[in-house]
Amino acid sequence: MSGQTMNRAAAEPFVAAWCDSWRKVDIDAVVAHFAADAQMRSPLALTLTGSPVVAGAENIRAYWQKAYGHIESADLKILSWSWDDTIARLTVWWQLGDTRASEFMDFDDAGRVVRSEAFYGK
């Protein structure tokens, strides 16, 4: 997706590819959508790193390797998604086992994720 503007039409194939990458736990494929200086925020990051924010694509890759690298596949299900043209934000509602989450991703003009944040529930 990098190099192409993200919009409503591009959001659906992005969500499908993002989901497929997470099902395979292909962390490199997920990180490839992120800008070099991206930031992600997650309650799990706070648990594993002591900070809720992980900054920089390479640090995000290392964090996800630590958090998920031991898993070979995941039965991630997309419940819904929404695109907001005004702020270039994709929100994805997903479920993995009994964990439900919403996750938003903000994009730059080149179609790369510059900020993401996950919210977990049951």
Query: Higher pLDDT residue, 80 or 72?
Result: 80
Break the chain into its structural domains and give their ranges.
8-121
- Which pTM value belongs to this model? 0.89
CATH for 8-121, options being 3.30.830.10, 1.10.10.10, 3.10.450.50, 1.10.10.370: 3.10.450.50
Q: Are 120 and 105 in contact (CB under 8 A)?
A: no
Q: What is the pLDDT of residue 114?
A: 97
Handedness of CA 47, 71, 58, 103 (dihedral sign): negative
Compute CA distances 60 → 10, 30, 86, 109, 120, whole Å: 23, 10, 26, 21, 18
Q: What is the pLDDT of residue 1?
A: 41
Handedness of CA 115, 89, 47, 63 (dihedral sign): negative
Is pLDDT of 122 > 90? no
Query: Which of 22, 23, 42 has its CA nearest to residue 32?
Result: 22
Q: What is the pLDDT of residue 69?
A: 87
Mean pLDDT of the chain: 92
Q: Would you call 60 helix, strand, or coil by DSSP?
A: helix
